[in-house]
Homo-oligomer: A and B are copies of this chain.
Amino acid sequence: MSSATQFLGKAMKDETSSGVNVDRRKRPKQPRAVGTVEAITEAAKQIILKEGYKNLTTNRIAEVAGVGVGSLYQYFPNKQAIIKALIEETVFRAAGKVRTCLRMLMEVPLEPALHQIMTMLLATYRENDFILFRILDQIPELKEFPQNLSVEIHTHSTNLAFLEQHQAEIVVSDLPTSLMLIERTTIHKIECFLAQDPPNITEGQFIDELTQMAVKYLTR
């Protein structure tokens, strides 16, 4: 039994015990309804970005989305589900970009490839309002459903494939574990970098730094 399985098992147990449902209530089929759902998550996003997570109330979401509060509960069973949907959406889009980029760099040597990846990652985080990714820290309840709420989850296997493609240049013994370490470290640094305002290091320097760190670690 892998730890992943255990983890999922735990999450499921928790869900059962707390009785909280964070999934969508119904799949809207009518185009009007699709628009409403998007308006809701978009409103949530704007509020988090502009007014802070602590101001994210259901009434405010409805107001910004231009719908009645009641409509929120047509598509989401509760507030958490809205946040979850928003993050999933964001993560899904971001992961797609990362995977596309990785596939294009399969044939490129490790160091320049990593440099490009890092550049793209930074851009993706910025575009996708990285603050959303950090929101999870403020919602312990949601942490128990991380299945789809982390970019790594959606990119890990592609990442792995990428590294295996470059195995000739790499010396670490346990590739999956090393990959995980690099992934986390990289993302953490990007978050720290983006959180600084103004940054005390140029973007170019920062990406070089990130790349060097990964290359050194992987190739001794």
A residues sitting closer than 8 Å to B (CB atoms) are 2-11, 13-15, 17, 49-50, 52-54, 126, 129-131, 134, 137-138, 140-141, 177, 181, 184-185, 188-189, 192, 194-198, 200-201, 209, 213, 216-217, 220
Contact = CB atoms under 8 A, between A and B. Distances in A.
Main secondary structure of the interface of A (DSSP, over half): helix
A5 B2 CA distance: 12
Contacts of A188: 184-185, 188
In the complex, the count of this chain's copies comes to: 4
**Which of A4, A194, A197, A200 gathers most chain B CB within 10 Å?**
A4
B4 A6 contact: yes
Which 7 pairs, one residue from A and one from B, show the smallest C-beta to C-beta distance? A137-B137, A3-B200, A8-B197, A3-B50, A188-B188, A5-B197, A138-B138
A3 B137 contact: no
Nearest to A48: B7
